[in-house]
Amino acid sequence: MNILLKSVKIIDKNNESLHLKTRDIHIKNGIIVKIAAKIEPEGKTQVVKHKNLHGSIGWFDSSVSFGEPGYEERETIENGLQVAAQSGFTDVILNPTMHPCPDSSSDIVYLKNAAANQLTNLYPLGTLTMKADGNDLAELYDMKNSGAVGFYDYKLPMTNANLLKIALQYVQNFDGLVYSFPMDTKIAGKGIVNEGEVSTKLGLKGIPTLAEDLQVARDLFILEYTGGKLHIPTISTATSVKLISDAKKKGLNVSCSVAVHNLIYTDAVLEQFDSAYKVLPPLRTKADTKALIKGLKDGTIDFITSDHTPMNIEEKRVEFDNASFGTTGLETIFGSLNQLLGIETTIDLLSKGRERYGIKSPILKEGEPACLTLFNPDETYVFDEKHIESTSKNSMFIGAELIGKVYSTINNGQYITNE
């Protein structure tokens, strides 16, 4: 690799000397060898020029799902990582959604090996309980030693409060991160959308915000009692934001995330009965989206995620009640978030979060490995199925106008371009 990036406007709030500056960047053998106002190419150098070229450190997504092993028709690990790279992501956290679920060290080793030698780094989560059934803790210590960065029964609430207590106490011995999905199953019942005016009008069973709020409050009380590290993924209600904000003010070691679609859409879109909008947690109200955006801006919500969940056509093109939850999101998170929050805030949110998982954040500096995302923040286009590189096409953003296009991604001595 011998690449010269010409006239890159750098977006990096943590790098005062380069933030909003336009620079040439020379990369050789995967290392940044020079950053300067002007660099002339020498020898066999690949010169990269683009209209309105911007760059930042590589992006991070804390919640992606593929299918392999078990559901390869949805997405293989190889293709999923290719999609992530083309979407600008150099590091992703993989949810334990495969079959069999990863509840042992050998499962984690398999996932790491399957993702080896790719541009995008994959960091797997192991399940919190054996077979994700909520009964007995999985091999947490062994999985941590094999590369698991956290423990999560994906989208399955921890109904046994005592088991969550024991997990939080146990992982303190090796600095483990415990996930708890924010939903009380007894309150949620058989609900599939947000409980409110829209669900009543459409005759769809609702999941009240109370189901999330009660679970979050319970988990925070347990965390206060036990100590340890807790992550609450993809919150969706205004009360959750308030509860987590208060917990952080107490000094509790809690983090949380929000899925981008819960910022963009409300349950009003359900009037189309389009199963692409069926997600968990469900799309909520305008008041909730406003609170979530405020929580992002004030730091209560630690990071944003695509919550990329590919589903094959048989899971989605059925009656709304019977459709599976989930939408793809890797390919649309940049364009949708940029439109909502502007480029500087967007890049800051897409770049943060690694430290929570013990992952070193890349540095844009001479002598450091090149880990970069290159993009045009001003290109506007209508997202269409032809833009989807994922095997599954279940995106709720089809037909949406997005602002921002990823040009290319550089990491691990590899260069992928969308041109």
- With CA atoms as reference, report the closest residue to 344 among 377, 303, 296: 377
Strand order across the 254-259 sheet:
177-179, 229-232, 254-259, 303-305
The DSSP letter of residue 369 is: B
DSSP character at residue 161: H
Burial of 72 (0-12, 13-18, 19+ CB in 10 A): middle
* Largest distance between two CA atoms of the chain: 68
Percent of the chain with pLDDT over 90: 99
Residue pLDDT, tens place only, 144-158 = 999 999 999 999 999
Beta carbons within 10 angstroms of residue 268's beta carbon: 13
Which pLDDT band, with edges at 50, 70 and 90, does 419 fall under? confident
Instruction: Fill in the amino acid letter for 148.
Output: A
How many Å separate Cα 45 from the centre of its chain? 34
Does the pLDDT at position 1 exceed 90?
no
Mean of the pLDDT values across residues 322-347? 97
Rounded Cα gap, residues 366 and 321, in angstroms: 54
Per-residue pLDDT tens over the stretch 168-219 = 999 999 999 999 999 999 999 999 999 999 999 999 999 999 999 999 999 9
**Residue 43 predicted with pLDDT over 90:** no
pLDDT band at 28 (very low <50, low <70, confident <90, very high): very high
pLDDT of residue 42: 87
pLDDT confidence bin for 222, thresholds 50/70/90: very high
8 A C-beta contact, residue 157 and residue 181: yes
- Residues 88-140: pLDDT tens digits? 999 999 999 999 999 999 999 999 999 999 999 999 999 999 999 999 999 99
* Residue of 302 and 1 predicted with greater confidence: 302
The three-state (H, E, C) secondary structure of 299-360, written as one string: CCCCEEECCECCCCHHHHCCCHHHCCCCECCCCCHHHHHHHHHCHHHHHHHHHCCHHHHCCC
If you compute the radius of gyration of the chain from its CA atoms, what whole number of angstroms results?
21
The length of the chain is: 419
Catalytic choice (307, 348, 378, 384): 307
List domains and CATH numbers for the chain.
2-55+365-383+401-417 (2.30.40.10), 59-357 (3.20.20.140)
pLDDT band for 71, please (50, 70, 90 cuts). very high
DSSP label of 137: B
Q: Full-prediction pTM beyond 0.85?
A: yes
Instruction: Collapse the DSSP code of 225 into the 3-class scheme (helix H, G, I; strand E, B; otherwise coil) and give the result.
Output: helix
Let me know if 219 is a catalytic residue: no
Residue 226, amino acid: T
pLDDT at 373: 98
State phi, psi for 373 to the nearest 5 degrees. Answer: -120, 130
CB 96 within 8 A of CB 132: yes
Task: Report the C-alpha gap between 222 and 166 in whole angstroms.
Answer: 10
CB 222 within 8 A of CB 164: yes
Say yes or no to pLDDT of 249 above 90.
yes
Reduced to 3 states, what is the DSSP secondary structure of residue 92?
strand
Q: Which of 367, 334, 365 is nearest to 351 (CA)?
A: 334
* Helix, coil or strand: residue 121: strand
Q: What distances in angstroms separate CA 289 from CA 70, 116, 255, one per listed residue?
A: 35, 38, 19
Q: What is the pLDDT of residues 289-309, one digit of tens each?
A: 999 999 999 999 999 999 999
Q: DSSP strand E in 118-212: where?
A: 121-124, 177-179, 193-194, 206-207
The C-alpha atoms of residue 145 and residue 91 are separated, in whole angstroms, by: 19
25: β partners:
5, 35
| CA dist., res. 359 & res. 198, Å (int) | 41
CA dihedral 114, 88, 316, 94 (to 10 degrees): 40
Contact predicate 55/8, CB 8 Å: yes
The per-residue pLDDT for range 273-284, each reduced to its tens digit, is 999 999 999 999
The residue with tokens 């260069």 is 415
Phi-psi region of 313 (alpha: psi -120 to 50; beta: other; left: phi over 0): alpha
